[in-house]
Amino acid sequence: MSELPLAITMGDAAGIGPETIAKVFRDGHAGHAIVIGCAIQMARAAAPFSGLRVVEISDPESAPPSSGIIPVIKVADLPADLPFGVSDPRAGRAAYQSVIHAADLALSGRVSAIVTAPLNKASMSAAGITLPGHTEILAERAGVADVAMMLANDELRVVLVSIHVSLKEAIQRVTTPSVLRTIRFAEIGARAFGIAHPRVAVAGLNPHAGEGGLFGSEDEVLIRPAVDAARAAGIDASGPWPPDTVFMQARDGRFDVVVAQYHDQGLIPVKYLGVAHGVNVTIGLPFVRTSPDHGTAFDIAGKGIADPSSLATAIRIARRMTTAV
């Protein structure tokens, strides 16, 4: 087991990130971890919980192992009365700085993994930050040209060919090279979970995976050649499988990871199993990065009702990935 602490970035302080972080420390789910962000905001989040206090530290090596303490490396000073639930460039800038500092610590081998609390894209944009989210920030900082997103819980792992595009554009992005690329990332992601010989299932694009061309030609013309190429490269890939049943088969243990052709095809089955247990994993970075599968939740920020379950799961999965053989 790694002796290095895990780094948790605070996220947007106007959202639920600091609250959920305080709760995972309160509940004992953080383990050996540090927070990168604003000590003032973390102290505000920890204030409702007796026996929990924030200690500012200068580096990961000085993190105290004691329970009841949230060690924070300060990268920004935000006002104690920062409004909840409102986009604010100060919060956007601080969240961005937290991610950058955590990435630098991971790249220098001083933390075991990064778990990121949610960002707010509008807040970052207002602060003049052009990169839209964690994936792009971390990839640029790490000097990585190509990464992929895996959605995972204890029952299902899914990697997407395309993510945040229209359905029309998503269909256009289903090409043999893009599907083959995603199959490769799916195998890498499954191996990061400690699976020595991952079984990769590839979902079809059309109903019944095209039914032999009756419901569209993409499955046979575009997807099957990618599966064949992956198999020729030594990957245990199969498909295209009918998308209405392949996720159920993966959940039952027939496959270790599923390649989905577009956003909703892959995310609906994962989220149906419970948003609180879903985790976003970035594949292709030179370090482990996970994130809860929810946003800043401005509508409930500051009300004390945020559920920390997804963050706790992200921490647990990050640790599993860092210790996988």
pLDDT in 10s for each residue of the chain, 325 residues: 358 999 999 999 999 999 999 999 999 999 999 999 999 999 999 999 998 999 999 999 988 877 899 999 999 999 999 999 999 999 999 999 999 999 999 999 999 999 999 999 999 999 999 988 898 899 999 999 899 989 998 889 999 999 878 999 999 999 999 999 999 999 999 999 999 999 999 999 999 988 888 888 999 999 999 999 999 999 999 999 999 999 999 999 999 999 999 999 998 998 888 766 789 999 999 999 999 988 999 999 999 999 999 999 999 999 999 987 4
Q: What does the chain come to in residues?
A: 325
Cα angle for residues 103, 108, 113 (degrees, 5° grid): 50
DSSP state of 275: G
Kindly state whether residue 265 falls inside one of the protein's structural domains. Answer: yes
The answer on 250 and 225 residing in a single domain is yes
The answer on 297 and 178 residing in a single domain is no
Out of 231, 248, 272, a domain closes at 272
| Amino acid 43: pLDDT | 97
The answer on 12 and 141 residing in a single domain is yes
CA 105 to the chain's CA centroid: 18
Kindly state whether residue 255 falls inside one of the protein's structural domains. Answer: yes
Cα angle for residues 37, 39, 43 (degrees, 5° grid): 125
Kindly state whether residue 277 falls inside one of the protein's structural domains. Answer: no
Kindly state whether residue 314 falls inside one of the protein's structural domains. Answer: yes
The answer on 175 and 293 residing in a single domain is no
The answer on 190 and 127 residing in a single domain is no
Kindly state whether residue 230 falls inside one of the protein's structural domains. Answer: yes
Domain CATH code at residue 14: 3.40.718.10
Count up the domains in the chain and report the number: 2
The answer on 167 and 91 residing in a single domain is no
Kindly state whether residue 192 falls inside one of the protein's structural domains. Answer: yes
Cis peptide before 132 (omega within 30 of 0): no
The answer on 140 and 20 residing in a single domain is yes
Q: H or E stretch including 49? A: none
Kindly state whether residue 278 falls inside one of the protein's structural domains. Answer: no
Query: How far is Cα 269 from Cα 264, in angstroms, rounded to an integer?
Result: 9
The answer on 89 and 65 residing in a single domain is yes
The answer on 173 and 112 residing in a single domain is no
The answer on 109 and 257 residing in a single domain is no
The residue range of the domain holding 249 is 154-272
Query: How far is Cα 174 from Cα 291, in angstroms, rounded to an integer?
Result: 26
Query: How far is Cα 308 from Cα 152, in angstroms, rounded to an integer?
Result: 17
SS (H, E, C) 278-322: CEEEEECCCCCEEEECCCCCCCCCCCCCCCCHHHHHHHHHHHHHH
The answer on 262 and 290 residing in a single domain is no
The answer on 267 and 174 residing in a single domain is yes
Kindly state whether residue 311 falls inside one of the protein's structural domains. Answer: yes
Out of 249, 272, 295, a domain closes at 272
